[in-house]
Amino acid sequence: MKSYVLVTGATGGLGKAFVAECASRGWDLCLTDLREHALEALAAGTERMYNVHVLTRAGDLTDAASREALWRYVHDSGTRFHMLINVAGTDFEGGFVDRHLEELRTILRLNIEGTVEMTHRVLAYRDRTRPLRIINVSSLAGFYPMPLKAVYAASKRFLLDFSVALNQELRAGDVTVTALCPAGMPTTPDCVQKIQAQGLMGQMTTMNVGKVAHETINAALAGRSIVVPGWVNQIISSLGGLLPAPVVAAVIERRWRRARASLTPGGARPLAVRAPESV
Amino acid sequence: MVVTGATSGIGRAATAALAARGAHVLGVGRSLERCADAEQAIREIAPDATVSFLLADLASQGQIRDLAGAIVEHVADQGGGKLDVLVNNAGTVSSWYTATEDGYELTFAVNHLAAFLLTHELLPLLAAAPAARVVTVGSASHRRTRIHWSDIMLRRGYHVLRAYKQSKLANVLFSAEFNRRVARTSPVRAYVADPGLVNTEIGLKGTQGLARMVWGRRRLDGVAPIDGAKTVVFLAADSSVEGSEHLYWKDCRPLQPSRYALREDEAARLWELSARLCGMEA
């Protein structure tokens, strides 16, 4: 039976790295993301390079109707999966009070709701002749409360705990769940700039996405719960457990604010307190 | 004449020099702003120049095809349907592994595949000219490296220099194979221009950290873009080049490229792969 790897957020930097890694192993792919044009270009290039079959389906994972349409397509086409890689996720960085409510909702809907629903749904469409591997992209941020990225970091903590728990719960059913927790990755010029702004630490925690994808797939095939790529990041992730959370939060806030100040012209500005929005 | 990467560095200098000599030049750039800026600067030096700019990001094969279509239209309109010179100059360097929208590694896609695809798309126009030339801007970096067949996109073993050197080697292999294949059926010839060390921004746009710092320092030892463009302009416009058997040139004189770069088996293999990656039928 033809069996696919489902990848969400496939056209982003990390998504493309996962696509290439899976394709290089001879696996057929089913890709989803917002932009149809980008999906088609990626599918064509991947098919040519690796000689695998690539299906695409554009959609918005924050929209229930769009998610429904995706799974109806899966159902109608008889597609089955042996792996699901939940890459799709987002953040709107900066002070909590400065965020629009819609931005916060998007983080929750995409990072948490979207991932949970995709994970739940794929179980009904798995290829039963082999183990089902699920990879959830969490973040190093999932190990700490992060001021100025509070909702994002908390959503990644959600994915971390969710994945570790499910990996235990579903083990008997030949399903494994792996949480990938990378540091910031150099995927867009914006990301590269942010890494640059963090100075030496930024350089030392950064890894090429190609390598991250390879390591993660290997870990998933071995059924590991958590992947933290890079030895520096592994140290950072374990340090978080040694100090009280509020202390860690304070250290992170100082570092992050300094990094952001170096990016914005005129330096950091004090958090403005706005009148509450109408709900 | 078409010049890619025409809004800065060697490309911009070559476009200006060729336009000043009376050639009708189409420059290609990614940014509307920088195209306008380059066009204005050239008109200031050479007010009678016939120069226009087309917008395309050579990291995208879709955009390269659209660009070729636009060039064909323009040349049919104003150039008698023939293209005398294509200068494959656009090049990039990236500190980190980056994939294009087609899923290909950026350095390989822009420095090599873009030149390969664009040349093929424009071949009918080039073949219509009496003795057209394809000038690809190479580099001494092509020496002491090889094509990494087992991981040509360097997904798992990416290093900024390895990616750049491989792409420059690909430039020479492509040009050599082009001459072997195309020479039988048309008068179009490919040449590689080695500009030497030139003070441009190539090492600043996609890099950070050590690579960026190193280029920032090294570029100061380089010549100005106008001097780096000398060999490009020579190969594009000088009549003494006509019918020359020499592939690789530096300082307007033939130079021997690396032995690997002249290997016919490697060149053929790269050609087949590149044709497949650009979606061309066998």
Residues of chain B contacting A45 with CB distance shorter than 8 Å: 61, 100-104, 277
Q: Which of the residues A188, A192, A215 would you substitute to probe the B interface, choosing the one with the greatest number of B C-beta atoms within 10 Å?
A: A192
Within an 8 Å CB–CB cutoff, is residue B279 touching chain A?
Answer: yes
Distance of CA A43 to CAs A30, A54, B46, B245, Å? 9, 6, 45, 41
Q: Which helix (H) or strand (E) holds A54?
A: strand A54-58
pLDDT > 60? residue A279: no
pLDDT in the model for residue B210 = 77
Among positive and negative, which fits the CA dihedral A48, A52, A57, A61?
negative
pLDDT in the model for residue A271 = 44
Among positive and negative, which fits the CA dihedral A26, A32, A36, A39?
negative
Each residue of A16-27: pLDDT tens digit? 999 999 999 999
Partner-chain contact A16 B103, CB within 8 Å: yes
Partner-chain contact A16 B279, CB within 8 Å: no
The answer to whether A220 and A136 are in contact (CB under 8 A) is no
- State the smallest CA–CA distance between residue B101 and chain A in angstroms: 6
Q: Which of the residues A16, A52, A262 would you substitute to probe the B interface, choosing the one with the greatest number of B C-beta atoms within 10 Å?
A: A16
Each residue of A36-56: pLDDT tens digit? 999 999 999 999 999 999 999
Nearest CA in chain B to A11: B101
The answer to whether B123 and B82 are in contact (CB under 8 A) is no
The C-alpha torsion from A106 through A108 and A113 to A118, rounded to 10°, is 70
pLDDT in the model for residue A270 = 45
What SS3 class is residue B268? helix
Within an 8 Å CB–CB cutoff, is residue B276 touching chain A?
Answer: yes
Residues of chain A contacting B95 with CB distance shorter than 8 Å: 186, 192
Task: Pick the range with the lowest mean pLDDT from A76-90, A213-227, B40-54.
Answer: B40-54
DSSP for B183-230? TTT-S-EEEEEE--SB--SHHHHS--HHHHHHHHHHGGGSBPHHHHTH
Spell out the alpha helix ranges (H) of chain A: 13-24, 36-50, 64-77, 101-107, 115-122, 150-169, 189-197, 199-205, 209-221, 231-239, 245-263
Q: How confident is the model at residue B221 (pLDDT cuts 50, 70, 90)?
A: confident
Each residue of A173-216: pLDDT tens digit? 999 999 999 988 888 777 877 777 777 777 778 889 999 999 99
Beta strands at B2-4 and B85-88: parallel, antiparallel or unpaired: parallel
pLDDT in the model for residue A277 = 42
Q: How confident is the model at residue A265 (pLDDT cuts 50, 70, 90)?
A: low
The 8-class DSSP code of residue B140 comes to G
Side-chain-side CA neighbours of B249 within 13 Å: the count stands at 27
Each residue of B135-145: pLDDT tens digit? 999 999 999 99
Residues 219-258 in B contacting A (C-alpha not used; CB under 8 Å): none
pLDDT in the model for residue A60 = 97
pLDDT > 90? residue A83: yes
Partner-chain contact A211 B209, CB within 8 Å: no
pLDDT in the model for residue B183 = 78
pLDDT in the model for residue B282 = 55
pLDDT > 80? residue A71: yes
pLDDT in the model for residue A247 = 78
Chain centre distance of CA A279: 29
pLDDT in the model for residue B111 = 98
pLDDT in the model for residue B26 = 97
CA–CA dist A164, B281 (Å, integer):
47
> Which among B101, B153, B158 is the nearest to A42, CB-wise?
B101
Both tokens assigned to A10: 């496939």
Residues 68-97 in B contacting A (C-alpha not used; CB under 8 Å): 95-97
Q: What is the CATH number of domain A3-263?
A: 3.40.50.720
Catalytic one of B97, B104, B158, B164: B164
Within an 8 Å CB–CB cutoff, is residue B208 touching chain A?
Answer: yes
Length of chain A (residues)? 279
Residues of chain A contacting B277 with CB distance shorter than 8 Å: 45, 48-49
Both tokens assigned to A165: 């728990």
Length of chain B (residues)? 282
pLDDT in the model for residue A274 = 41
Each residue of B146-201: pLDDT tens digit? 999 999 999 999 999 999 999 999 999 999 999 999 978 899 999 999 999 888 88
Average pLDDT rounded to a whole number, residues B60-71: 98
Q: How confident is the model at residue A264 (pLDDT cuts 50, 70, 90)?
A: low
CA–CA dist B185, A8 (Å, integer):
47
Average pLDDT rounded to a whole number, residues B31-44: 95
Task: Region of A266 please: left (phi>0), alpha (psi -120 to 50) or beta.
Answer: left
Side-chain-side CA neighbours of B30 within 13 Å: the count stands at 11
User: Which sequence spans correspond to the domains of chain A?
Assistant: 3-263
Within an 8 Å CB–CB cutoff, is residue A48 touching chain B?
Answer: yes
Partner-chain contact A19 B103, CB within 8 Å: yes
pLDDT in the model for residue A194 = 78
Nearest CA in chain A to B156: A211
Of A185, A271, A165, the closest CA to residue A225 belongs to A165
Residues of chain A contacting B104 with CB distance shorter than 8 Å: 45, 49
b/e per residue A49-81 (b: at least 16 CB within 10 A): bbebebbbbbbbbbeeebbeebbeebeeeebbb
Residue of higher predicted confidence among A258 and B256 = B256
CA–CA dist A66, A45 (Å, integer):
26
Each residue of A225-262: pLDDT tens digit? 999 998 888 888 887 777 777 777 787 778 777 777 77
> Which among A45, A196, A211 is the nearest to B102, CB-wise?
A45
Q: In percent, how much of chain B has pLDDT > 70?
A: 100
pLDDT in the model for residue A254 = 80
Distance of CA A140 to CAs A183, B51, B235, Å? 5, 51, 53
Domains contained in chain B, CATH given: 2-277 (3.40.50.720)
pLDDT in the model for residue A236 = 81
Among positive and negative, which fits the CA dihedral A50, A51, A53, A57?
positive
pLDDT > 50? residue B78: yes
Residues of chain A contacting B281 with CB distance shorter than 8 Å: none
pLDDT in the model for residue A266 = 54
pTM of this structure? 0.92
CA–CA dist A140, B42 (Å, integer):
50
What SS3 class is residue B50? strand
For residue B195, the cross-strand partners are none
Partner-chain contact A41 B102, CB within 8 Å: yes
What SS3 class is residue B253? strand
Q: Which helix (H) or strand (E) holds B74?
A: helix B61-78
Partner-chain contact B158 A208, CB within 8 Å: yes
Of A238, A239, A228, the closest CA to residue A205 belongs to A228
The answer to whether B160 and B92 are in contact (CB under 8 A) is no
Chain centre distance of CA A141: 11
Distance of CA A68 to CAs A113, A117, A159, A199, Å? 13, 10, 22, 44
- State the smallest CA–CA distance between residue A34 and chain B in angstroms: 14
Average pLDDT rounded to a whole number, residues A156-177: 97
Partner-chain contact B103 A195, CB within 8 Å: no
CB atoms within 10 A of CB A274: 9
B97 is catalytic: no
Partner-chain contact A211 B60, CB within 8 Å: no
Average pLDDT, chain A: 89
Partner-chain contact B102 A206, CB within 8 Å: no
pLDDT > 70? residue B251: yes
Residue B245 burial (C-beta neighbours within 10 Å; 0-12, 13-18, 19+): exposed
Partner-chain contact B208 A21, CB within 8 Å: no
Q: In percent, how much of chain B has pLDDT > 90?
A: 82
The answer to whether A60 and A34 are in contact (CB under 8 A) is yes
